[in-house]
Amino acid sequence: MSIRQPRSISARQGLWFFLPAGAFLTVMLVYPLAYSLYASFTNMRMTSPITRFVWLDTYAAVLASDQFRSSILVTVVFLVAAITLEFVIGFALALSFKAMRHTHPIMRALLMLPLMATPVSVGLIWKLLLNSDFGIVTYAGQQLGLGTQLWLADPVMSVVSIVIMDVWQWTPFIFLILLAGLEGLPEDVYEAAALDGSRGWDLLINVTLPLMARIIVVALAFRVMFSIATFDTVFVLTKGGPARATDLITLLIQREGLVNLNVALASAMSFIVLLMVTAFSVVTFRKVMANG
Amino acid sequence: MDERRNSTWKERAHILANLCVVGLFLFPLAWMLLGAFKSQGDLLSPTPVWFFIPTLEHWHFIFDNWNVERHMVNSVIVSVATTLLTLALALPAAYGLARFPIAGKDMITFEILSLKMIPPIAAVVPLFVLTQKVGLYNTLMVLILLNTAFQLPFAILVLKSFVEEIPPEIDEAAYVDGCRPIGVLWRIILPLSVPGLICCAVFVFIFSWNEFMIANTLVGGDLRPLPPIVGLALTHRGILWGPALALGVVVLLPVLILTFTLSRYMARGMTFGAVKG
C-alpha cells in the first residue's frame, strides 16, 4: 500500500519536527545515563574529591556483594508473586465484566482509582491498614482466628504485604487492558464455538486464550517493566525492612547512591539492572510492537 | 426460555460479584478518607471505629504547621508546566514520526520506548551529581525539565498512535491547497488529535503530580511539592497518623477527581497506544 505523497514531504522535514523532542531527551536522559555509565567504571563518591578510573572493579564489587544478590532475589520473588496474582485476578475480573450485558463505565472508572493514586499515599494507606496495633486488616485476621499477624515486622509477612499492596494497585491495570481486549474479540468465533458445543473452560482455553495471547503478552510485559521500577510505595510502607526483607533493588540503589553517596556503586548496579530490563524488553517488545 | 432465565441469573450473580470486588478495591481509599477526619483516639483504636464525630483538627494542624498551601502551589506549578511542555514537544515529534519517511523510524520508536523502561532511579543518581554542577539543583525548573523528560517518551508514543488514525488524505488535500507541513500540523493534526492530547495531558499531569523520587532528591525546603512532604510526615519523630492521613488525602484528591471524570479518555494511554481501548 503506497500513499502518493507530494514532492514537498521529505524525511528531512519530518526530522525537524522530531528534533526538539529528540534533543530534549538526549540532554535530559541520555546524557545523564552516559555519565552514569562513565561513573560506573570509576570509584566516584560524592564524599571524596578524587575520582579515578577503575575499569570493572566496581562491577566486580557489585556482583560479589551479598546485598545486591539478596535485593535481586527479593525483587524477582516480589515480581513473580505480584504479577501472577494480578494476572489471575485481573483476567477473572475482566471475564466477569464481559459476562455482564451492559458495560458499566462508572465501575470501570472506579477501578482505575487505585492505579492512578499517588504512590506515597498508597504506601501510607497500607501502612495504616496493615499496622499491627490498630490496622483493620490485622483486626480482621484476629476475628478470623488467624492471631495477630505482624504484617510489617515479620520478614516473610512483610514481603506478603508489599505483594498485597502491589496487587491492589496494579490488578486494575491488567484488568482494563484485558477487558479492552475481550471486547474487541470477534463475536462470530464465539457463535461458531457455541454451535460446536464448547463452553466453560473449553471455550476459555481453546478460543479465548489463543485470541488474547498478544494482548496478554503486552499487558504482562508492561507490568514486568513497571514493577522493576517500583519504589515510592515500598519506600513508604517498609523502607526495605525489616532486616532488608523487602529491600527491592531500586531501594538499594537509592540508598547507595543518594544516602551513602557512592555514585560509582549505584551506577554499576543501575546498569546491571538496565541490562536485564533491556534483554527482557528486546525479546518481548520487538516482536509485539512489530506485529502491532 | 430456560436458557434465557438461566443467563439473566448468571448475569445478576456477575454484577453482584463485580460490585463486591469494586467495593473491595475502593475500601482502602475510603478508609484513609475517613481516617483523616477521626480524632487521634478513634484512629488508633485497636477495634475499627466506623461511626464517629468528624473532626478537622488534623486539617488545621497541617495547614498551620506544615505550610501545605506553599507546597500545593509548587505541585500545581510543576505539574501544569510539565504537562504543557510535554505536549508542546510531543505532538510535533509524533507528527514527524507518524507522517514522514524518516529512515530508521521503527528503531527510533523502539529507542523511545526503551527510555521509558529505564527505572527512574537509574537516571536520578547521575542527575543528583549533574544538576549540582549546572546550578539547577533545588529549583522548580529542574523538576519541570525532568518530569517532562520522564513523561515525553510516553506522550510521543500515545500521540503517534492517535495521529496515525487521522486519514492521510486530509493532509494531502491541505498540501494541494498550498499548506506547508507546519500548517498541516497546526490546522489539521492539532485540532483532530484533541482526544489524544486530553489523554496525554491527564496522564502526564497525574504522573508529575504523583512524582516522589526526583522531588525528594533534587529539591528541599519550601520548594518541595506535596509528595515528599507526605514522606516527611512519616519519619519525623514517629508517625503523626492524623496529619499524615490528611496530607495523604490532600495529595490524592485531585488525582481521584481527574481520573474519575476523565477516565473515558484514558483507556488508550494505558499501553502507550499499543492496545486500542
- Contact in structure between A177 and A219 (CB atoms under 8 Å): yes
Residue B223 has pLDDT above 70, yes or no: yes
**pLDDT > 90: what percent of chain A?**
42
**Closest residue to A114, CB basis, from B25, B185, B270:** B25
Residue B1: per-residue pLDDT: 43
Residue B235 has pLDDT above 80, yes or no: no
Is A112 touching B (CB cutoff 8 A)?
Answer: yes
Nearest residue of chain A to residue B157 (CA atoms): A289
Q: What is the ipTM of this complex?
A: 0.89
Q: Which of B121, B169, B229, B253 to mutate to test the interface with A (most CBs of A within 10 A)?
A: B121
- pLDDT, tens digit (0-9, with 9 covering 90-100), for A218-245: 888 889 888 999 999 999 999 888 889 9
Question: Does the distance separating the beta carbons of A127 and B213 come in below 8 Å?
Answer: no
- Contact in structure between B137 and A50 (CB atoms under 8 Å): no
Residues of A in contact with B25 (CB under 8 A): 110-111, 113-114, 168, 171-172
- Please identify among residues 49-88 of chain B the ones whose CB lies closer than 8 Å to any CB of chain A: none
Residue A185: per-residue pLDDT: 85
Residue B236 has pLDDT above 80, yes or no: no
Residue A75: per-residue pLDDT: 95
Residue B7: per-residue pLDDT: 66
**pLDDT > 70: what percent of chain A?**
93
Q: Please list the ranges in chain A whose pLDDT falls under 50.
A: 1-2, 4, 6-7, 292
* Three-state SS annotation for B97-144: HHHCCCCCHHHHHHHHHHHHHCCHHHHHHHHHHHHHHHCCCCCHHHHH
Residues of B in contact with A8 (CB under 8 A): 175, 180-181
- pLDDT, tens digit (0-9, with 9 covering 90-100), for A23-49: 999 999 999 999 999 989 988 888 777
Q: What is the domain class of A66-261 according to CATH?
A: mainly alpha
Residue B90 has pLDDT above 90, yes or no: yes
- pLDDT, tens digit (0-9, with 9 covering 90-100), for B152-205: 999 999 999 899 888 888 888 888 888 888 888 888 888 999 989 999 999 999
Q: For chain B, which residues make up each domain, given as ranges?
A: 2-35, 67-271
Q: What's chain B's average pLDDT?
A: 87
Which comes out higher in pLDDT, residue B6 or B135? B135
Residue B277: per-residue pLDDT: 45
Round to whole Å and give the CA distance between B273 and A45.
Answer: 41
Round to whole Å and give the CA distance between B101 and A13.
Answer: 9
Is A72 touching B (CB cutoff 8 A)?
Answer: no
* Three-state SS annotation for chain A: CCCCCCCCCCHHHHHHHHHHHHHHHHHHHHHHHHHHHHHHCECCCCCCCCCCECCCHHHHHHHHCHHHHHHHHHHHHHHHHHHHHHHHHHHHHHHHHHHCCCCCHHHHHHHHHHHHCCHHHHHHHHHHHCCCCCCHHHHHHHHCCCCCCCCCCCHHHHHHHHHHHHHHHHHHHHHHHHHHHHHCCCHHHHHHHHHCCCCHHHHHHHHHHHHHHHHHHHHHHHHHHHHHCCCHHHHHHCCCCCCCCCCCHHHHHHHHHHHCCCHHHHHHHHHHHHHHHHHHHHHHHHHHHHHC
- The shortest C-alpha distance from B84 to chain A (Å) reads 13
Name B48's Cβ contacts closer than 8 Å, sequence gap at least 6.
A136, A139
Q: For chain A, which residues make up each domain, given as ranges?
A: 66-261
- pLDDT, tens digit (0-9, with 9 covering 90-100), for B248-264: 999 999 999 999 888 88
Name B67's Cβ contacts closer than 8 Å, sequence gap at least 6.
B222
Q: What's chain A's average pLDDT?
A: 87
575499569: which residue's cell? A55
Residues of B in contact with A39 (CB under 8 A): 126, 129
Q: How confident is the model at residue B112 (pLDDT cuts 50, 70, 90)?
A: confident
Domain B67-271: CATH superfamily, name plus number = MetI-like (1.10.3720.10)
- The shortest C-alpha distance from A266 to chain B (Å) reads 7
Residue A288: per-residue pLDDT: 63
Residue A68: per-residue pLDDT: 94
Question: Does the distance separating the beta carbons of A118 and B252 come in below 8 Å?
Answer: yes
Residue A290: per-residue pLDDT: 57
Q: How confident is the model at residue B271 (pLDDT cuts 50, 70, 90)?
A: low
Grid cell of B66 as nine digits: 506544615
